[in-house]
A and B are shown apart, each in its own frame.
Chain A
């Protein structure tokens, strides 16, 4: 009776759809689905939205781009190019930038979005890695995400080369050189890519097809799979009061996330529009049409490929060998294939390595605070350090000019940094994590310092500590302590060598590497002992660091194994404050 026309129309449409698709079931299931709230859960969305914006701006660009290497003479409004011979690809890039109103904006949005796409994927991946969100049941989705990273880089690389400018053309030439270095098949693979000798006339059309059809198609399919798995698994959430492995705490999809996540799409689009409006990106009109002779200083690929460039720059050249008349270019293969291969493989299989070391078959839906997984966090930082050194090495000429340094010295420094930097980063990060865990323990056991000093009747001065409430405490004590796996004994009851002992022993070694050094969360007993010790008007009063430490040593079962030194971490014994157990 009070129904408006609009409401009647909506009801009619809904009924029509439901009778044909049963959509009411999906709406019932999904509309109020709970998603947890945390800023870092939006990093993946930045990547997703960048991809949507890439498609929107990409469609605009394909309307005007001509993927042809046929040569024409440019006649157009951009004076420094007028009358020059160039490929149709380059000319159409100039035309869509300078003659299509809004074309330049779309081109710049497209390129900024491409850089942002990978930056967001990498940041998202860092979040997933450092919080342990890749653990069972999400290992598969980690691999899907990893493949998306590779595809994203491939999409970027193929698109970067399309305008057929000097900069990207030299990038293709480097690709050609790298491909040629592949043993046995190199020359033929180069011919396969370029349809003959470099540069040929096929590469731009081929890259175009890959860039606008094959790779985005695969990305789209895998994004679908990625999101499907997210919905299937339900999102992980950070530990906190009320959050468990068996629930998900947050807000309903409709309306809160429709507004927040939907709104975020527009924010991402807005930020990209702002960047494209004000900041030049990939000014191909400066680089000029491709010609095999010129090269510009500052010859680099887009940021996500620079680590390869850096690896190529760092490698000493004396590693090219001639074996039986055949040339083996390890000076190219190691930096371009083997080093990235190691780093990326490590990244892709890390969830499986960790599961192997943990021996853990449970589902994990609560995230780890990075400090609570010191070896994982340290491994992640070590991989990132290696990437970062390679990235900087790829920009060594820019560093040389901007910091008035010698190109050669920088190269030597980075060579050394690549070899030792990851190990130093690993050690420091692990120490920081363990330190932070001890700080958490201190906080739980002794409460917050208040800065209030009081004098006890017998003349002792103490600082009043304010105990943590149970909600704050829970976040600090909720995590499960991971302990190294002990291999089953070498001999069974009858004294026979057990089959598979060696395998177990290896596994135990890996496990020790991960979990030997650790700080376990405070247990209720420990807390009550600490509280029993404390005395004073507020029940939980620390009496100064010295006293507290000695009390804790007495009340916890912290002890040190004589084998602490060969923990597989290569580290010597470390001081063992309250609660750290090493075996």
Chain B
């Protein structure tokens, strides 16, 4: 059962000299008793059992054939159709057919192997992975001869030239690739959104402007800037929307704590905050009317809308940026200005 190559690492490890000294009472390790005697299966002993097993295998293969036929029939008879119910039925029948067609083959093959193919365990020798000393010598000699041939060892400048050329060559692909991947690389776009003085707050997604009077206490409005899809930025409205979405609520002014320098950023208890989380940028939108807490469903940062949208729980550090608002002559809510800081997650040069 073991091969007889000498000098391999495969010898059982001696478990220590101390045992040897004490080992007057016999060997220090048990001997491997060798393969246990083989026990015949029912199908080995009983031809009837073997015939039964064979029949089972045949039935399983036949089941697979039926499954394939079933799939084809289902494909023709029950196309996906127009209604949800029909789509579900089509999916179910095709899938069950495919299941039978595949599982039948699998179960048949395994049952065949288990019951009818030989189950006498056999042993095969292993050989150590390393080459023997002679092969190693030959390999080293071959490499040495090649190196000698090329003269790489002697020609130092040549070696440097080869290495630098090969190392630099990928740059001729990588530089243009990486250079182009980032578009215009103008990362200062992070700092600005569409909001500007006088731009109306409108409902998302309809774009209808909002009157201050319509915002009742306890309501929450999901807001986008007016004219989101018009003008110069029409091609990039989705990037602009990704930065400009705002959540607006009205609180009882008595509940509202406002910083001194932001007193005029709200309008009669109506406050508007960026909807983009300062953690990693999910839309923060779970507004709890009673606690005035705003929860991010992604990582559960919680912001207190009644207190400058400060973080009260979770992995965000900074308060949500506030959009200063007021009303125009017609009573519609408008922005006073852009946010006074970049919205969304932090980045290295954010404050620069």
Contact = CB atoms under 8 A, between A and B. Distances in A.
Contacts of A529: 25
A190 B83 CA distance: 42
Given A277-B95, A524-B30, A192 B112 contact: no
Classify the secondary structure of B's interface with A. loop
A102 B348 CA distance: 48
A102 B94 contact: yes
A471 B32 CA distance: 8
B153 to A, nearest CB: 29
A380 to B, nearest CB: 24
A407 B300 contact: yes
A70 B31 CA distance: 72
A331 B315 contact: yes
Interface residues of B, number: 116
Interface in A158-207: 170, 173-174, 176-178, 180-188, 190-193, 195-200, 202
A277 B101 CA distance: 13
Interface in A228-263: 232-234, 241-252, 255-257, 259-260, 262-263
B262 interface: no
A295 interface: yes
Contact of A200 (B34, B239, B346): B239
A470 interface: yes
Interface string B11-53: 0110110010011011111101111100000000000000000
Interface string A517-559: 0001001110011000000000000000000000000000100
Interface stretch (B2-10, B167-175, B321-329): B2-10
A383 to B, nearest CB: 23
A192 B181 contact: yes
Nearest to B24: A525
Interface string B308-322: 000101111110000
B33 A177 contact: no
A92 B299 CA distance: 31
B150 interface: no
Given A173-B281, A173-B282, A319-B317, A474 B33 contact: yes
Interface in B312-352: 313-318, 344-352
A332 B347 contact: no
A318 interface: yes
A363 B10 contact: yes
A93 to B, nearest CB: 14
Contacts of B1: 242, 244, 246-247
A397 interface: yes
A168 B303 CA distance: 24
Interface stretch (A432-440, A449-457, A477-485): A477-485
B113 interface: yes
Which of A200, A265, A293 is packed against the most chain B CB atoms within 10 Å?
A293
Contacts of A267: 102-103, 106-107, 110
Contacts of B34: 241-242
B82 A77 contact: yes
B152 interface: no
B95 A274 contact: yes
Given A104-B80, A196-B182, A293-B241, A312 B299 contact: yes
Which of A105, A262, A365, A470 is packed against the most chain B CB atoms within 10 Å?
A105
A77 B25 CA distance: 84
A179 to B, nearest CB: 9
Nearest to B103: A270
B346 A411 contact: no
Contacts of B118: 251, 256
Contacts of B109: 259-260, 262-263, 266
A312 B280 contact: yes
A317 B316 contact: yes
A273 B105 CA distance: 14
B286 A105 contact: no
Contacts of B311: 317
Interface in A272-315: 273-274, 276-278, 291-299, 309, 312-315
Interface string B124-135: 111011000000
Interface stretch (B85-93, B158-166, B251-259): B85-93
A293 B128 CA distance: 62
A478 B30 contact: yes
B239 A327 contact: no
B80 A273 contact: no
A198 B242 contact: yes
A566 interface: no
A177 B281 contact: yes
Interface stretch (B183-191, B212-220, B263-271): B183-191
B238 A234 contact: no
A256 B117 contact: yes
Given A293-B222, A319-B317, A471 B33 contact: yes
Given A177-B345, A263-B113, A242 B32 contact: yes
Contacts of A312: 279-280, 298-299, 315
Nearest to A260: B113
Contact of A188 (B30, B187, B279): B187
Which of B10, B92, B109, B352 is packed against the most chain A CB atoms within 10 Å?
B109
A123 B224 CA distance: 47
B62 to A, nearest CB: 15
Which 10 A-B residue pairings sit nearest by Cβ, starting from the closest?
A: A277-B95, A177-B280, A270-B103, A263-B109, A266-B106, A242-B35, A267-B106, A292-B242, A259-B113, A320-B317
27 contacts: A105-B91, A170-B282, A174-B282, A177-B282, A178-B280, A187-B187, A190-B347, A191-B181, A195-B182, A196-B182, A197-B236, A197-B243, A242-B34, A259-B112, A267-B102, A291-B205, A293-B204, A293-B245, A299-B282, A327-B348, A329-B317, A331-B279, A362-B13, A470-B30, A471-B36, A520-B15, A523-B19
Interface of A: 33-34, 77-78, 97-105, 108, 137, 170, 173-174, 176-178, 180-188, 190-193, 195-200, 202, 232-234, 241-252, 255-257, 259-260, 262-271, 273-274, 276-278, 291-299, 309, 312-320, 322, 325-329, 331-332, 335, 361-363, 365, 396-397, 407-408, 411, 470-471, 473-474, 477-478, 480-481, 483, 520, 523-525, 528-529, 557
Given A191-B187, A199-B239, A331-B317, 12 more contacts: A174-B280, A176-B281, A176-B345, A192-B178, A199-B242, A259-B109, A293-B283, A299-B298, A327-B349, A332-B346, A363-B9, A529-B25
